[in-house]
A and B are shown apart, each in its own frame.
Chain A
Amino acid sequence: MKEIMYEKDLMALWFDSQDEIDYKNKAKLMDNLGSLEACFYAEKEALNNLLADSTAVKVISDWIKKRDRAYLEDRYGTLRDMGVSITYPERGDYPRKLLTVPSPPFLLYMRGTFRQSLNDVGCTIGMVGSRTPDTYGREIASYFAKELAGDGINIVSGLASGVDGISHRSALSAGGYTVGVLGCGINVVYPHSNIRLYEDMAVHGCIISEYGPDLVPQSWRFPARNRIISGLSDGVLCVQAKKRSGSLITTNFALEQNRQVYAVPARAFDLNYEGTNNLIKSGAFCATSPEDIINDLREMRGESLMYGEKKKRRKQSAPKKEVTAEEKKILSCLNLEPCYIDDVIAQTGYGITQTISSLYVMEEKGLVKQVKRGWYIVADFTRGVTYR
């Protein structure tokens, strides 16, 4: 059995070895020839006939040359050394949910560990949003990811900067399982500032790409990657999107693939959230707390109380934080808009030294958060905040 799988792995590798043969062409071959094996053993003429109008003959003959066993084994070995495994629909570690979507990837490269919970047994939420979120977007992404992941829901996102990275990082910190889907080669870290996250995900989560090693990021590949994010998920949560945000591509895929779309509301006329608000207008599920999403998932799948219980228990057992009068007064100045310390001083009338040390203590207690040097927001915002 193992032997047969190995043979198949090599065939799958060959199938993906020629970059010029794009998804459309591969789909054509699969449709006409039926299986990976059939493609691998297909005569040159057969391939030529099928691909001739879009592909040069030279490319096809190059591709056929790569059917060489030594070459494929070498490629296989290189991947293994990188810690990269491959999977395709016939393998057990291919996410089953992807098979239900139009145009599922033929081959996936994978780092980290595949968990069965990505299949039907578990719940998965895709999180998308701006690459440059504002503070509200950051905090919402982090809070939702933490709560959902803490309740055993898998978080899928795109390992980009902004909401993607925050979602992954928060899921990891909550001890959850998270999957990053790349739009570039499996070993390419883009943006490079995510390198630490990438390494952590390879250990504690999973990184998936449709593309083999060293493929440089190109803008047109990212929309294609989005279909995998939504495909892996039961629902897609949009955190912050402008009117023409790339995140909306993912939510469109979600609708196409019959997945639920969740959106966190923001203020009307906020240009940073025009896209999210439009989603709600056109029928997306308006989620104001992670429980909303959990309840909806439960209803959708008709499951028994599987998720959310942990959270309830935690909430009951968590000791109520002691807040002094002074801290209350400081908190009343803060919300989710970063507030500069000078304004806190002006509004409370406390001295500088006093305010600094109070804020320090409050940060330790988890009541406030210093988002930039001297700028504070409420950390415990689920208790409610007021804008003025």
Chain B
Amino acid sequence: MFSKVKSCVLRGIDGTEIVVEADISDGLPTFTMVGYLSSSVKEASERVRTALKNSGFTFPPKRITVNLSPADIKKDGAGFDLPIALAILLSSGLSPEVSLDETLVLGELGLNGDLKPIPGVLPMVFRAAENGIRSCIVPKENVEEAALVKGLSVIGAATLNEAVDYISGALKIKPVQNLCDRLYESPQEQKIDFSDIHGQETLKRGMEIAAAGFHNVLMTGAAGAGKSMLAKRLPTIMPRLSVEESIEVTKIYSTLGLLSERGALVTERPFRSPHHTVSSFALVGGGVNPRPGEVSLAHNGVLFLDELPEFGKNALEVLRQPIEDRKVTISRVNASYIFPADFMLVCAMNPCPCGHFPDRKRCRCTPVMIKKYQSRVSGPLLDRIDINMEVKPVKSDDIFAEGNGERSEIIRARVEDARMIQKRRYENDGIFFNSQLEGNLIKKYIRLDPEEEALLKQVFTEKELSARGTHRILKLSRTIADLSGSERIKREHLMEAIFYRNNGLSYEEVI
């Protein structure tokens, strides 16, 4: 007898619907699975056979054929265990009147019949919902994640038996639906706050500007001055993720099975801080079955590269394209995958190998050593950084002072205001932030009065700016003006932008 169950496979960060077909017929007892299977799927036969036995079913001693269609898509992952088991049970006549045509089934089986969570449930359920499926059976641990998708009732089962009993009607399981809004609204506890940082006023201001306009940041300063501490707190002043953004981010985390760490819905902006030994593939994504890398995990959030010069040259250079395109395209023979990668780049570095320059009392590095160390960061990468800041070593007064800095929520309120201004301004242009302005849009939206224009021209000639450098200053001054609620870019906004953009790295004056 023939039966079929709907399931899904993950390709990149999107699901593709798969139909699991089973047929049981007379003949010598065999169990064959076909359909372009990877070894993790082939091994499902043993898991399914044992799980069925241990759940009290008899594995029919007949000729069993299982096919995963369409046959031209490579099937990967352990999520097919449950659909295969159910398809076999259905075709062996479990309950003839039941049809699973409108239900998506996902789940990995343990040998004792327990259902285990699998990665990528959200994108797979998402795809199924798009294809018109209205219910799904998933492992209990994946229920919340699956229920983020609107208009779909989710059944969570802990064991194979539960799933079977639910299908045959012997067990009632309450479907879970539309969790998205509830999870989004649930308050998030902030463990870290901007007021933890004492002093560093200009640095904090720079961070505020960066958060408001999504500008890339580089902090240079001695070891232990608070660079990482500040970077970690950056997400707390960035505007909250919108629901759509949250889902986008959650999809990526779901794909990599990282959701258990962060709760079913990612509502806080991601903060990724890969170690400097990271390979270029781990950074942008890759692999035989391409998986998103750190840049995609930092989507809509912060990618923090601590100790920037220590990163491999390759790793840094592959960053250039995602910074410009805000996505990563990975091509394979059979398909090409697009991973979103719209992140804010925040980098930190020491000024010299010993980390104490310009404090010449402690730093014994020669000018050549310093230059060599700083030149490990390539010019093109530096050119893409809008805000360059010096981090001063903390003084003892600052460390022991009572926390009197502004709290994150206050800064965030200002940032949100600036963001709303930008959102309204760029409504019809498909961009969200000042930092994303390009070419014609710069001309369209950034206008300087004659006095300010003269100032910029003077800086242009004095500092030998490039065209790109000038544009960066313009975009930055737009953000600063937005933060102060001013429609016009005033003289002081421009000066502040010039102060923060100043990307001359070299300390030793060039003679």
| Residues of chain A having any CB pair with chain B under 8 Å | 132, 134, 138, 161, 165-166, 168-169, 191, 193-194, 196-197, 272, 338, 340-342, 345-346, 352-354, 356-357, 360-361, 371-375
Contact = CB atoms under 8 A, between A and B. Distances in A.
Q: Enumerate the 4 nearest inter-chain pairs by beta-carbon distance, A residue then B residue, closest first.
A: A357-B492, A165-B511, A360-B495, A357-B495
Contacts of A134: 360
Given A193-B511, A342-B203, 12 more contacts: A161-B367, A168-B511, A196-B510, A197-B511, A340-B392, A352-B201, A353-B480, A356-B495, A360-B498, A361-B495, A372-B390, A375-B358
Q: Which of A132, A168, A341, A342 has the most CB of B within 10 A?
A: A342
A219 B259 CA distance: 62
A197 B360 CA distance: 25
B484 A353 contact: yes
Interface in B60-103: none
A194 B511 contact: yes
B353 to A, nearest CB: 15
B199 A342 contact: yes
Contacts of A165: 511
B445 interface: no
Contact of B371 (A193, A338, A341): A193
Interface in B473-497: 480, 484, 491-493, 495-496
A340 B493 CA distance: 20
B82 to A, nearest CB: 59
24 contacts: A132-B360, A161-B367, A166-B509, A166-B511, A191-B367, A191-B368, A193-B367, A340-B390, A342-B199, A352-B201, A353-B492, A353-B496, A356-B202, A356-B495, A356-B496, A357-B492, A357-B495, A357-B496, A360-B495, A371-B509, A372-B390, A373-B504, A374-B389, A374-B499
A374 B491 contact: no
Contacts of A197: 511
Contacts of A353: 480, 484, 492-493, 496
A345 B507 contact: no
Contacts of A354: 492
B178 interface: no
B447 interface: no
Given A165-B511, A341-B202, A356 B492 contact: yes
A153 to B, nearest CB: 20
Interface in B218-242: 220
Given A161-B511, A360-B499, A345 B390 contact: no
A340 B480 CA distance: 21
Nearest to A130: B360
Interface in B185-205: 199-203, 205
B484 A374 contact: no
A346 B199 CA distance: 9
A26 B492 CA distance: 67
Given A196-B511, A354-B492, A373 B367 contact: no
A132 B359 CA distance: 12
B388 interface: yes
B367 A342 contact: no
Nearest to A166: B511
Contacts of B220: 373
Given A166-B511, A197-B511, A342-B202, A132 B499 contact: no
Contacts of A166: 509, 511
B497 to A, nearest CB: 10
B489 to A, nearest CB: 13
Contact of B510 (A193, A346, A373): A193
Q: Which of A169, A193, A356 has the most CB of B within 10 A?
A: A356
B470 interface: no
Interface in B301-351: none
In the complex, which of the residues A191, A357, A371 has the most CB atoms of chain B within 10 Å of its own CB atom?
A: A357
A360 to B, nearest CB: 4
Contacts of B499: 356, 360, 374
A127 to B, nearest CB: 14
B502 interface: yes
A290 B509 CA distance: 23
A374 B200 CA distance: 12
Contact of A345 (B201, B502, B510): B201
Contacts of A374: 202, 389-390, 392, 499
B406 to A, nearest CB: 12
B295 to A, nearest CB: 27
A372 B499 CA distance: 11
Contact of A373 (B200, B360, B389, B480): B389
A354 B499 CA distance: 12
From B199, B390, B502, B511, residue with most partner A Cβ within 10 Å: B511
Contacts of A372: 358, 390, 507
B449 to A, nearest CB: 15
Contacts of A352: 201-202, 205, 496
Nearest to B504: A373
Contacts of B510: 193, 196
A346 B405 CA distance: 13
Q: Which of A197, A272, A357, A374 has the most CB of B within 10 A?
A: A374
A337 B426 CA distance: 46
B201 A346 contact: yes
Interface string B377-389: 0000000000011
Contacts of B509: 138, 166, 371
